[in-house]
Amino acid sequence: METTYLAALELLIMSLAFCFFSLWIATAVTVFLVVSTFFMKNRSKLLLVIALLFVVRIFTGVDLGSYNKGENIVLKVNGGNNKIERINRKIPRKALYIYGNNLEDGKSEIKGILQNKIEKNNREYYQLEEVYTTPIPKGFVNRYLDEKISTLTREYSGDMAKFYRAVILGEKGNLSDKVKNMFSYTGTSHLIVISGLHIGVIIAIILFLTGKLPLQRELRYFISAVILTLYTVGVGLAPSVLRAYIMGMCYIGGELFYEKPDPKKSLSAAFVISLMINPVSVMELSFQMSFMAVVAIIFIYPKVEKKLNSSVRGGFIKKVLLFAAMSLTIQIFLTPIFLVYFRTIPILSFLVNLVAIPLGVLFVQNAFGALVLSVVGLGGILMPTVNLSYHILLKFIEITSNIPALSVNYYGIKKSGMIILLYSVIFGMAFLRGRWKGLSVIPLFILLFIDGPDPPEILDYKGIVYYREKPGILVSGKRISDRDIIFLRDNGVKAIEVLISTEKTDEKLKKILKVSEELILFEGDEVKLKTRTFINIKGKIVELERIEKTIQI
């Protein structure tokens, strides 16, 4: 097996060990793998070097300790979601968030004394006191791109400007929930994040524009590599961006040195380098989706393509079928991720992508082309086309988002570790033969016997409160969403005997939650259930006992 493949597998095992197990077990697994590599028959020195470098990176770059109350810590925080990106200059071993600090968008450095660790909504929060917050300024390239896009979109609608920034800069936080939900439901969310599709289009645009100049072939590819690097630095090294950048550079390097690029080796190299930069990024959703989508294209789709080529004649219809087959392959391969993280099963999304992807490519081509031409003051030439392609794409997504059954919800799966079992089934069905193929479905039966945790006595989550005692009570002062249901199921809530709300809940959601009885409280109304009394005060349902305790304090 190629060294790059073995290195990727070895680093994956080490990374998962540090993410899932205690420090001692993870260290033991790591030592075992390194020693095994050293004593391997026909061992590769490069494989051993990569393993040792990864071990050094983990113990010097990842925060493996735990902090106690009263300790001084320095945090680097993303203000968009309050996620802690660094603790004392090191990467957190698990996802952590800052609690109770109103941060502006962008990144900030926060210094303070650890006051408390809070477990809330399946997340761990750090609460600090004596806090000193320093905004981290954007880099030069990011500011430059930001200014250029502001100039280009000045005369166009604010929604188009936000969409432009989402697609080109990866800043989708300002998109409306309606737009994000439409793209999510239709299975086209990959169009509003920077992915391999975007990087491929960008490389093609750069090579096209430099091809119009009297430059040697080597210089064209060198300039392309420089521009791609500057762009990647400007938009940030998110897992999907980093993966696409490394594979893009492998392609450019192959063309530059007259070597035929190998997508499988490029993907393995991107995987190894990504984990070297962030050893625990394997647990991030964007990392998993980005790499799994490319795995589907490189390793699974060729098998489908081979069968279609032998059974379908050439022509336009064959090209459409091949495109649809690739889209369906990616959809099936990413289903475990959609199922575990979003509790959705995509059904017909691949058909939407047959039209959405060409429209998305058209927008990216014009938007990035305008950005490049803006360097010489000619970006405005393409902006009418950018605006037109934006409206066509959004209209198509809006229409298709009203089609039923593009995806369906399934809330029965238990979250912890299920994604590994589901992918073992897919890989088994794709690569095993004979009786082994049949045995690969065994993990599906394991899912039936793995139960979730018992819910806590009181579960408080973003406007809803669940009380476990009989009768099981759910109090909601808002319209219940799919995300609320996912949270309740992940915390062991299987059925609700009494739902107290300010408005009638959708019958479909009540059926999913297995609600026995719903009580609607209008302003001023109150209801007593055993030892608890609930009252609607100005449209918000609160427990009377909590109010009394607050007054006493």
SS (H, E, C) 512-542: HHCEEEEEECCCCCEEEECCEEEEEECCEEE
Tens of pLDDT along 407-463? 887 776 666 566 766 777 777 776 667 666 666 666 666 665 555 566 777 777 777
| φ/ψ (deg, to 5) at 545 | -65, -35
Interacting residues of 553 by C-beta distance below 8 A, sequence separation 6+: none
Residue 351 pLDDT: 92
Contact call for residues 192 and 216 (beta carbons, < 8 A): no
Q: What is the pLDDT of residue 213?
A: 80
Confidence of residue 91 (pLDDT cuts 50, 70, 90): very high
CB 23 within 8 A of CB 34: no
In whole angstroms, give the CA distance from residue 97 to residue 87.
11
Confidence band (pLDDT; 50, 70, 90) for 472? confident
Q: How confident is the model at residue 44 (pLDDT cuts 50, 70, 90)?
A: confident
* Residue spans of alpha helices (H) in 95-157: 140-152
pLDDT in tens, 364-411: 999 999 998 998 888 999 999 999 999 999 999 999 999 988 888 777
- Report the pLDDT value the prediction gives residue 279, as an integer from 0 to 100: 93
| The most confident of 161-165, 177-181, 452-456, by mean pLDDT | 161-165
Q: What's the confidence (pLDDT) of residue 438?
A: 65
Q: How far is CA 246 from CA 228, 295, 374, 487, 521, in A?
A: 10, 15, 26, 36, 56
SS percent in the chain: helix, strand, coil, step 5: 60, 15, 25
Looking at this protein, which amino acid is placed at residue 335?
T
Please report how many Cα atoms fall inside a 13 Å half-sphere around the Cα of residue 385, on the Cβ side: 17
Exposed, middle or buried by CB within 10 Å (0-12, 13-18, 19+), for 534?
A: buried
What pLDDT digit, counting tens, does each position of 261-291 carry? 788 888 999 999 999 999 999 988 888 888 9
Full strand arrangement of the beta sheet holding 515-520: 458-461, 464-467, 473-476, 496-501, 515-520
Nearest residue to 369 (alpha-carbon basis) of 354, 389, 353:
389
φ/ψ (deg, to 5) at 373:
-70, -20
Distance CA(246)–CA(277), nearest Å, equals 12
Confidence of residue 138 (pLDDT cuts 50, 70, 90): confident
3 state SS of 42: coil
| 104's tokens | 């502006």
Q: Residue 43's pLDDT is what?
A: 63
Q: Which of 125-129, 257-261, 321-325, 328-332 has the lowest mean pLDDT?
A: 257-261
Residue 551: band (very low, low, confident or very high) from pLDDT cuts 50, 70, 90:
very low
CA distances for 244 relative to 237, 361, 385, angstroms: 10, 16, 26
Lowest average pLDDT, out of 99-108, 247-256, 413-422, 526-535, goes to 413-422
The pLDDT score that the predictor gives to residue 511 is 82
Share of the chain above pLDDT 70, in %: 89
Query: pLDDT value at position 553?
Result: 37
DSSP code for 342: I
Average pLDDT, the chain: 84
The pLDDT value recorded for residue 552 is 41
Range among 8-17, 334-343, 422-431 with highest mean pLDDT value? 8-17
b/e per residue, 60-70, with b = 16+ CB within 10 A?
A: ebbbeeeeeee
What is the DSSP pairing of strand 344-346 with strand 107-120? unpaired
The answer to whether the pTM exceeds 0.75 is yes
Average pLDDT over residues 24-34: 91
HEC per residue, 356-420? HHHHHHHHHHHHHHHHHHHHHCCHHHCHHHHHHHHHHHHHHHHHHCCCCCCEEECCCCCCCCHHH
Instruction: List the alpha helices (DSSP H) in 39-110.
Output: 45-61
Other CB atoms within a 10 A radius of the CB of residue 417 amount to: 12
Q: Is the pLDDT of residue 21 over 80?
A: yes
